[in-house]
Structure 1
Amino acid sequence: MGKKFGKLISELKDANEVFSCDSFYFATGFKLHFIFRGRAHLFRVNKNTIQVDQTLQDQGPKLIGEITPKNLRKALCIAQHIITLAFAKTPKCSEYNLCCICFERNIEVLLVCGHGFCEIDISDWKKRDNTCPMCRQSICQQKMYESIEFFKDDNEVKQSISELFSLINR
């Protein structure tokens, strides 16, 4: 098994955990499952696709389309973003509303990748490193982070869900 294929299998496992968790279901109302249908010895990052099924409670999985390995990474970031947005509005002291660094203060800042932090911790981190403390995605200087105050309405979650489904080829 090659390194790229091994990395894809790891990403599929991570994606299936996030897209099938109760938090994602609470935020979106649905669960997704990803399955690689190719062969490991024929694996090509830009040519293979991954089957996307919607998990239904009363029935078996329903095929909704395919996604490329590159877009799977984007979809995972969007899903984490959706979960963070949905739970950033939950009552204070909820485990989903706590800073990912200190686990003491509420989320005040949301990075583009979807990870949330208190203002103190992310400012301190930014002095040392220019990447997200959780996923190491680069923090763009022009859009270093967005304040939770900009996400007061539900349109942000709806737009993120729409962006997620635009990555899936039907």
Structure 2
Amino acid sequence: MTLSRRFITLILTLFSVVSILGAWGFEAMGILPCAMCYWQRWGHWAALGFGWLAFFFGNRVWYLLAGLGALSTSLIGFYHSGVERKWWAGPSSCTGTGLSGDGADLLSLEGPIIPMCDEIPWEMFGVTMANLNAIGSLVVAGLWFCVAMKPNGPVRIF
């Protein structure tokens, strides 16, 4: 199957748009993001911005930078997945072991709600949001790099 480069660029860019909108949707449902959830969004913002530049200007550099954005969010997602599963330690600032001070504000009803990076706030069939982001973004990053390496013109995907 052969698709136009602009169509593929649009689809890959929309992946980041949908990922960010999905994260906001979970927030609207009351599932608050931890620090690493926010870190994963940075790569999507980068992929989105560079994706639009690739869509309008078609320069190979924009495709590569969009791919790096998607790859960065994937790597953070894999790291976050391991922290959630307790395979390795996460940053002390957002895991249960990193709390410091007397904790009085954490025990009050008006105190801050601090989502921990080592807790799984949502999962379906054993797959978490970090897992979905890690795998999906890795696939999308690979596609960004494939499109970047192809000569100009239509792209054969199968």
Q: Report the TM-score, using the length of structure 1 for normalisation.
A: 0.34
Larger radius of gyration: 2
Q: Report the TM-score, using the length of structure 2 for normalisation.
A: 0.36
